[in-house]
Copies of this chain bind each other. A is one copy, B any other.
Amino acid sequence: MISPELFTPKILTAIEVMATLAFALSGVIVGAQKRLDAVGVVVVAFLAAFGGGTLRDLLLDKRPFFWVTHVDILWLVLLLTAVCMMFIRQKHIPKTEKIILWPDTIGLGLFTATGAFQAINTDLPYLVVVLMGVITGVFGGVLRDIVCNEIPNAFKDHRPYALCAFIGGWAMVLAIELGLPNNLSILIGALSTIALRALAINRNISLPAWRL
């Protein structure tokens, strides 16, 4: 059994920052492909990185937001965007998309598990808890795509993404319900999401087609 003590807050924060930057990078790429100006690229990067957690906190009526108490991460995303604008060229995009697939997957798992955990101490029904996790993991990308005038990729890609988060969220709820410690439950939620998503990518699994 994996010991939860292995996951000290510092390591967790480091992984979370990495995941946030991966989400921000996805925003930079989508914004660049849409030919946004520098301001647009920054805003879309912010939305991709912080949109999901902010929407969850709005729905849960929780303040202050994560990016208000950790304002250095706002500066980091600003810096990342500036660096990207100086160095990323059209030819780098396919490779970058491939590279961020993994931190994005880790981000989906972490955001979903920690997002659902934020809701579990309230008296909300489990389905709502799980949905809060999914919203945290998925809606940053949804807002990014809406602002870029695209149907959200998470809703038309046919490769499981939100569904992995949904199942991973239930895994975390189940772990909590079984009396496992919080840290371990979050880890279980994150790892199941990540494993399912990795499986979907590697096996190229598609959601059952809507035979309209």
Mark A residues whose CB is within 8 Å of B. 31-32, 34-41, 43-44, 54, 58-59, 61, 63-65, 67-68, 71, 74-75, 85, 88-90, 124-125, 127-128, 131, 142, 146-152, 154-158, 160-163, 207-208, 210-212
Q: How many copies does the complex hold?
A: 3
Interchain CB contact (< 8 A) of A59 among B39, B44, B65, B162: B65
Interchain CB contact (< 8 A) of A154 among B35, B40, B158, B210: B40
A155-B71 in contact (CB<8A): no
CB distance from A84 to the nearest CB of B (A): 9
**A37 vs B157: C-alpha distance in the bound complex, in angstroms?**
7
Known A32-B210, A58-B58; further 18 A-B contacts with Cβ < 8 A: A32-B212, A35-B210, A35-B212, A36-B156, A36-B210, A37-B158, A39-B162, A39-B163, A40-B155, A41-B210, A61-B61, A67-B128, A71-B125, A75-B127, A85-B210, A147-B151, A149-B150, A149-B151
CB distance from A200 to the nearest CB of B (A): 12
List the B residue with the shortest CB-CB distance to A211. Answer: B89
6 CB-based A-B contacts, threshold 8 Å: A37-B155, A38-B208, A39-B162, A41-B210, A44-B155, A59-B65
**A41 vs B208: C-alpha distance in the bound complex, in angstroms?**
12
Residues of chain B within 8 A (CB-CB) of A38 are 163, 207-208, 210
Counting chain B CB atoms within 10 Å of each CB, the highest count among A38, A39, A58 belongs to A39
